[in-house]
Amino acid sequence: MLNQVLKIKTKIQQNSDDGREIGTATWDKDGNTSQIITFGNYTGAQNVAFRFRGIDIPRLSKILLARMRLRPAFTDAVDFTVNLKIKGIKEPDPQPFSQNTRPSTRSKTVNLIDWDILKKWNVHEWVQTPNLNLIVEELVAQTTWKPGNSMAFVIEDDSSLADNSKTCWDFSHGDGYQAELEVYYLPQGLHEQITIGLLQGNDRDGEEDYKTTWYPNGFANNQITFGDDGSLSPNESANDAGFILSPINIPRGAEIISASLLIPSPIQNNGMPNVLIKGFAEDNAAVFASDGSNRPSTRTKTQAQVQWNLGHAEAGVLIGDHWTAESYYESPEIKEIIQEIIDKPGWAKSKLGIVIENYNSGQGNVKYCWDYNQDAGAHRAKLLIAWTNIRRVITRTKDTESFNKANYPEYIIVHHSATPRDTTRFETIKKSHIGFGWDDIGYHRWVSGALDGDGVLILGRKDNMIGAHTDTNKMNYRSLGIVLCGNFQNSETPTTAQLATLQTVLDDLRVERGIPRERVLGHKEVPESATDCPGNALLPYVQNYRRTGQLQ
């Protein structure tokens, strides 16, 4: 049995698998004439149903996270509230919907989920339901449930005000618009358990601005901001979010299989912050003082940390991940952070602290999270942890970090930054590269110009990390990238100090990695690289090194 969280993702596959029921009498498999499904209260209650085929989840699996994703078909003019309830069709293998098998005629799950939508939706932008894990867990616990069966859900109106409704596209609108189902689960049989840590009061979350000021209710409108709000200079406008979650009734010595932080988004937002998630290295994390005396920046953090870049590429352009209002978004995997905390000798099986720290976000790039104050915690952040008492890993000894082989360096590639030698800072280029969605600056070593100290060596990304400096010949996976600060193509020349540092770096890396000098190349010497880098003033030094072992 696999000791890990598994995931399935599927979408509506046939026209008989979704539609709307008007009142409790009429099934409309195509939505209205524009292939739009309306639900909520639209001239009376209208309910929507979705059937997903081929759900390959074993019986009695533990469900960590389940949700549907819908694409709105209409842009609301203003914010308004739609009150909904989501239920499962309590059948082991539900058949397609029809007038005779419409949702109101079918048995439903005991478990149901409230979905109160407070904000407007925008056409085509994906929205997400709350976590449906209890519903899915009830469905796969049926005695005749078998992997590969279908699974169906109904979203019912729950006394919404007149004409307060939402829309989504019907399957008949075409591929890419139909509803989707995503489920994270643990196969039954490992004695796994799931712990859900919650905010238990308003002293458990808040926002820290610029590492100086604590806002226990968020900055404004009960919203917590994290990233870089751009209200001051880029180096001074950091916004961090802090959370104290409980109860975390996990015994010391247990193994964390998976963990993620669920962030409730209060507004539609396309920001692209880059952040670090860390834990508070405390046995029983203290709640936040209203005066900010124990705000996140004052507390000891875990060594484990996870970077979260909220951007992605579309058609070669990097854009922010879209978050919609009233939806939850999960962090990357943070099990190493949780493991470090519960392995502490004094772990108290109680409160656990998490901070989302700004990490070189582009100015003005933020995401928002509801503060506990909003509706008395109805939209609070959550921590989902899957764990087992059967410790499969007793020690976590690793090889020296710089030699973990994600990158297999056989070559050394020399670059120039193509920026002014004496007015460019390392941090400027690093922040620019992180702004591309990269984990770090693209190079492994930086030889600086005057602003950082002429010829000073600055470490870039770790040697084990795949580079982002030479994308031809798979060289990012096969080399270490060294860059000299400067524009050495018909403009500047490397300084004596820079060349001395480069000589030392090349010699040291070659000895450390057993790389022959014949495999030290300028960027433009890599086959298929259409570039002037490292410039006509630096390349002859590299070529001389390859011949003699000396730059000059």
Q: What is the pLDDT of residues 478-508, one digit of tens each?
A: 899 999 999 999 889 999 999 999 999 999 9
| CA dihedral for 75, 370, 81, 90, sign (positive or negative) | positive
Distance, in Å, from the CA atom of 313 to the CA atom of 478, rounded to the nearest integer, reads 24
> Residue 403 has what pLDDT?
47
Per the CB < 8 A criterion, the answer to whether 104 and 24 are in contact is yes
> Residue 236 has what pLDDT?
66
pLDDT digits over 341-361, tens only? Answer: 999 999 999 999 999 999 988
Q: What is the residue type of 254? A: A
Per the CB < 8 A criterion, the answer to whether 111 and 138 are in contact is yes
Mean pLDDT of 452-461: 92
- For the chain, where do the domains classified as CATH 3.40.80.10 start and end? 401-548
Distance, in Å, from the CA atom of 214 to the CA atom of 297, rounded to the nearest integer, reads 10
The mean of the pLDDT values for the chain is: 89
**Residue 234 bridge partners (DSSP):** none
> Residue 34 has what pLDDT?
80
Given a cut of 80, whether residue 542 has pLDDT beyond it is yes
CA atoms within 13 A on the CB side of 550: 2
The residue among 201, 324, 322, 306 whose CA lies nearest residue 258 is: 306
Given a cut of 80, whether residue 238 has pLDDT beyond it is yes
> Residue 66 has what pLDDT?
93
Given a cut of 70, whether residue 402 has pLDDT beyond it is no
Measured between its terminal Cα atoms, the distance across the chain in Å is: 60
Q: pLDDT higher for 33 or 409?
A: 409
Given a cut of 70, whether residue 133 has pLDDT beyond it is yes
Mean pLDDT of 257-281: 92
To the nearest whole percent, how much of the chain has pLDDT over 70? 93
Mean pLDDT of 163-170: 93
The correct answer on CATH 3.20.20 for the domain covering 195-388 is no
Given a cut of 80, whether residue 108 has pLDDT beyond it is yes
- For the chain, where do the domains classified as CATH 2.60.120 start and end? 6-188, 195-388
> Residue 2 has what pLDDT?
46
- Give the global pTM: 0.68
Question: Among 177-191, 254-268, 295-309, 354-368, whose mean pLDDT is lowest?
Answer: 177-191
Mean pLDDT of 207-233: 90
3-class secondary structure per residue, 439-462: CCCCCCEEECCHHHCCCCEEECCC
The correct answer on CATH 2.60.120 for the domain covering 6-188 is yes
> Residue 405 has what pLDDT?
56
Question: Among 90-94, 137-141, 319-323, whose mean pLDDT is lowest?
Answer: 319-323
Distance, in Å, from the CA atom of 533 to the CA atom of 413, rounded to the nearest integer, reads 10
> Residue 432 has what pLDDT?
83
Q: pLDDT higher for 236 or 45?
A: 45
Cα–Cα distances (Å) from 233 to 236, 240, 497, in that order, read 5, 16, 32
Helices within 393-549 (DSSP H only):
426-435, 496-513, 539-548
Q: Which residues of 343-358 are buried (b: 16+ CB within 10 A; e: fewer)?
A: eeeebeeebbbbbbbb
Q: Structure tokens of 376?
A: 């008395």
CA angle 274, 10, 141 (to 5 degrees): 105
Distance, in Å, from the CA atom of 227 to the CA atom of 219, rounded to the nearest integer, reads 13
The residue among 475, 468, 477 whose CA lies nearest residue 436 is: 468
170 pLDDT band, cuts 50/70/90, is very high
pLDDT digits over 314-343, tens only? Answer: 666 678 888 888 788 999 999 999 999 999
Distance, in Å, from the CA atom of 226 to the CA atom of 209, rounded to the nearest integer, reads 9
Burial of 26 from C-beta contacts in 10 A (0-12 / 13-18 / 19+): exposed
> Residue 269 has what pLDDT?
87
Given a cut of 50, whether residue 202 has pLDDT beyond it is yes
Distance, in Å, from the CA atom of 147 to the CA atom of 58, rounded to the nearest integer, reads 5
Per the CB < 8 A criterion, the answer to whether 538 and 484 are in contact is yes
**Within 10 Å of residue 392's Cβ, how many Cβ atoms?**
9
Q: DSSP letters along 222-235, please?
A: TEEEEEE--SS-TT
**Within 10 Å of residue 330's Cβ, how many Cβ atoms?**
18
The residue among 92, 91, 135 whose CA lies nearest residue 113 is: 135
Cβ contacts of 155 within 8 Å, gap of 6 or more = 39, 47, 48, 49, 84, 85, 86, 115, 129
Distance, in Å, from the CA atom of 214 to the CA atom of 202, rounded to the nearest integer, reads 13
To the nearest whole percent, how much of the chain has pLDDT over 90? 64
> Residue 399 has what pLDDT?
39
Mean pLDDT of 183-207: 84
Given a cut of 60, whether residue 401 has pLDDT beyond it is no
- CATH classification number, 401-548, choose in 2.60.40.420, 3.30.1330.10, 3.40.50.2300, 3.40.80.10: 3.40.80.10
